[in-house]
Amino acid sequence: MKKYILSILVILFTLNTNQSFSQEVEKDTIIPVSLQEVVVSTPFKESLKNNVTRVDKLSLSDINLTNSPVISFDKIRGVSSLSTGQGVLKPVIRGLYGTRVVTFSNNIRLENNQWGDDHGIEVNPFGTQSIEVIKGPMSVLYGSDAIGGVVYISPDSFVDGSPQVEFGSLYNSNYSGLTNNLGLKGSVGGINYIFQGSYVDNGNFSSPEEEIENTFFENTDFKAALGYSSSKFISELRFNYFETTIGIPHSEEEHDDHDDHGDDDDDDHGDDDDDHDGDHDDDHEEEEESYQALENTSISWKNTFIFNDKSELEVTIGHTLNNRKEYGDHGHEEHDDHGDDDDHGDDDDDHDDEDHDDEDHDEDHDEEHSEAAMDLDLNTTSVDLKYVFAKTEKTEFVIGGSFLSQENKNYAEEELVPDAKKNDFGIFGLAHFHGKVWDIMVGLRTDYRRIQKRQFDETYGSLTSSLGLKTDLGNSGILRINYSTGYRAPNLSELFADGVHHGTARYYVGDQNLGEEKSSQIDFSISTFTSSSEFGLDLFANSLKDYIYLNPTGEEIDEMPVYNYAQDDANIFGGELYYNRQSSLDWLSYETSVEFLRGEKSNSDVLPFIAPLSLKQSFNLEFNNSSFELEAVLKGKKENVAQFETKTDSYFLLNLSGTYDFEFLSNDLKIGWSINNLTDKLYFDHMSRLKTMGIHEMGRNISVGINYQF
């Protein structure tokens, strides 16, 4: 590993000696668009540069052209992806994931992680404009669960004028994957509109050694939006239907016992659910392969009222229906991992006799439900209010509140989580004070969450706060220091598990007495820049009180070792170091970053899914109408691991990509290509749930994509 680091540093030194730093410093010259872009995940509509809280933003325009049809977060420093094959990628922010990270899409919260901590985010990148990530507790703005951070996914913006059509197609060689996208934007009679559709058909992926069976991935996505804007009123109505089937590899034993309850700590839960899938072909049905079918239907209506004093009232109403079905012969004797034995059956009986009729399902839907081994709905309704006071030269204020109502229902014999209801309510206030060279932001919020289940009714809540300082370092740098607190209520799995986790051959026991997790984090961020370079260092320390984890008891039930959910204090600390430079050659620039992370409980046991030391180096070549990027990624060895994890060796990857723009029939045509894992490296990724099954990562993959707008 030292050899690789030394080689890269030598390259950087050589490039640096060919040029000198500019003495004439200008802000925002390194990445002008990025630094000046407005942040939508925080309330004061500040630019990235002026925001007190450090926010990382990633545009998806070029990435979508040459990448997988699943949103990856690895391009954002401090964020990794927890993967289960090609179809499931979930963000891990500085060692925290699942219900510890709040995800927003189409202006409302995504809540499917309430089923378990191993679900993908179920968002198709087509029709997605950008991703913003806040690393650290943001319960002040987003309530319970935001103790790890926030992922805010911004949809495509509206355009005025005549219709614009966009067509895109992407082919991936490794898994014979084909993605087709078609979109229409425009306006008529003062109303803006967007219609976008996408279809993905991916076969099994291959490692450098072999094809991995039952790893196919299919997805259908449709988005529609209407918008209206005037000087006093802005409104946007958005609809999204997302449907996917995902296959999961397994041994015969794992297939017989598979059960997907995602636990926090790892499990390899084959995971977890996110990943069973579809009849990619007739052979799957004949072999009775397990697969998962997921549907996510959401609608949101966001309205902004602008008053004469320039204050604003923002009201967002949203509703989401998540449905999950799991098919296949699991061989479960009694799959009840989640929920008390004594009332699970009662819930099912009541549900079959009454609840199912209460839902507006027709007979066809009833028959469809009966075919799945596991079948559940998650209905979520939310209302968010935010009032931004008129801005003065020195101050800005915002107050707001949020309400969320959620109901989980089972329709099949097996239960992932029990039937339950959840209600959230919270109010908050934030103040932003401006000085000549400094800014201060102070926030306070109170929340409560009520979870109801047969013979269980509990309320959780907490008071959270934030304090941030940003100061300019002359004209050549920015310093940020932020302190924030957050909380997370236990999820249904942690509270009610009581049964065999077949995927890991363990018996899990929940604890209805679990309390809230609480987080306190301090962040330090400094960045300096010249006209041709940028250097930055981000450091953090996160103290977690009553962190929930799985603990072996040493006992056995039905010849299975017993693990119970327990709580202990934990600490996570680390940071990111980065350096970007424009060389003396106008067409050449490069970026270097190092990420390091450590997490452990109070007894010094390591936390799960702590990403290894990472070094990334990229070289970017920009010409008139074409661009090229060579990316080198070095991941360190991971020997100090959590109790449920396997060790992984270090590895080195090379990725190559490029784009070419030209005019075709008087319109813009863009061609993109990429070669990932250029050397066809055989390796295990520490953040993969498939590595414990001996499944290596994807081998060389060649992608070719086109995008045509007219």
DSSP state of 18: T
The pLDDT of residue 569 is 97
d(CA 653, CA 321): 39
d(CA 543, CA 519): 6
The pLDDT of residue 430 is 97
Contact of 685 with 697, CB cutoff 8 Å:
yes
Each residue of 152-207: pLDDT tens digit?
A: 999 999 999 899 999 999 999 999 999 999 999 999 999 999 999 999 999 999 99
Is the torsion defined by CA of 288, 179, 62, 196 positive or negative?
Answer: negative
The pLDDT of residue 166 is 93
**At 352, is the pLDDT very low, low, confident or very high (cuts 50, 70, 90)?**
very low
d(CA 124, CA 649): 32
Strand bridging mode 506-509 / 560-582: parallel
Coil, strand or helix: which one is 355? helix
Coil, strand or helix: which one is 589? strand
How many Cβ atoms from other residues are within 10 Å of residue 459's Cβ?
Answer: 11
The pLDDT of residue 339 is 40
Each residue of 377-422: pLDDT tens digit?
A: 999 999 999 999 999 999 999 999 999 999 999 898 777 778 999 9
Contact of 208 with 238, CB cutoff 8 Å:
no
Residue that the structure tokens 């986790």 belong to: 501
The pLDDT of residue 528 is 93
Show Cβ contacts of residue 308 under 8 Å, excluding neighbours closer than 6 positions: none
How many Cβ atoms from other residues are within 10 Å of residue 590's Cβ?
Answer: 19
Q: What is the mean pLDDT of the chain?
A: 82
Query: Does the pLDDT at position 572 exceed 70?
Result: yes
Query: Does the pLDDT at position 531 exceed 70?
Result: yes
User: What percentage of the chain's residues is helix, strand, coil (to nearest 5)?
Assistant: 10, 50, 35
136 conformational bin, left if phi > 0, alpha if psi -120 to 50, beta if neither: left
Query: Does the pLDDT at position 21 exceed 50?
Result: no
The residue type of 285 is: E
d(CA 464, CA 428): 9
d(CA 474, CA 24): 12
63 conformational bin, left if phi > 0, alpha if psi -120 to 50, beta if neither: alpha
**At 642, is the pLDDT very low, low, confident or very high (cuts 50, 70, 90)?**
confident
Show Cβ contacts of residue 212 under 8 Å, excluding neighbours closer than 6 positions: 85, 204, 205, 206, 249, 690, 695
Query: Does the pLDDT at position 644 exceed 90?
Result: no
**At 63, is the pLDDT very low, low, confident or very high (cuts 50, 70, 90)?**
low
Cα 23 to the center of its chain, rounded Å: 40
Query: Does the pLDDT at position 275 exceed 80?
Result: no
d(CA 11, CA 13): 5
Query: Does the pLDDT at position 286 exceed 70?
Result: no
Show Cβ contacts of residue 151 under 8 Å, excluding neighbours closer than 6 positions: 73, 91, 93, 101, 102, 103, 104, 121, 131, 132, 133
DSSP of 410-476, one letter per residue? E-SSB-SS-SEEEEEEEEEEEEEEE-SSEEEEEEEEEEEEEEEETTEEEEEEEEEEEEEEEEE-TTS
Query: Does the pLDDT at position 267 exceed 90?
Result: no
How far apart, in Å, are the Cα atoms of 615 and each of 6, 184, 531, 595, 632?
11, 40, 25, 7, 8
Contact of 468 with 311, CB cutoff 8 Å:
no
The pLDDT of residue 394 is 93
Query: Does the pLDDT at position 24 exceed 90?
Result: no
**At 62, is the pLDDT very low, low, confident or very high (cuts 50, 70, 90)?**
low
Query: Does the pLDDT at position 5 exceed 80?
Result: no
CA-closest candidate to residue 440, choices 483, 470, 485: 470
Contact of 610 with 93, CB cutoff 8 Å:
no
- Token reading at 516: 């809230």
Coil, strand or helix: which one is 98? helix
The pLDDT of residue 476 is 87
Each residue of 471-502: pLDDT tens digit?
A: 999 888 999 999 999 999 998 888 887 766 54
CA-closest candidate to residue 99, choices 86, 88, 109: 109
Average pLDDT over residues 88-92: 85
d(CA 570, CA 547): 6
The pLDDT of residue 64 is 58
Coil, strand or helix: which one is 124? coil
d(CA 44, CA 36): 14
d(CA 355, CA 10): 67
How far apart, in Å, are the Cα atoms of 369 and each of 325, 609, 668?
8, 34, 46
Per the document, the length of the chain is 710
User: Which carries the bigger pLDDT value, residue 258 or residue 44?
Assistant: 44
Residue that the structure tokens 């590595």 belong to: 691
Coil, strand or helix: which one is 213? coil
Query: Which run of H or E residues covers position 152?
Result: strand 149-155
CA-closest candidate to residue 443, choices 433, 428, 425: 428
Query: Does the pLDDT at position 92 exceed 80?
Result: yes
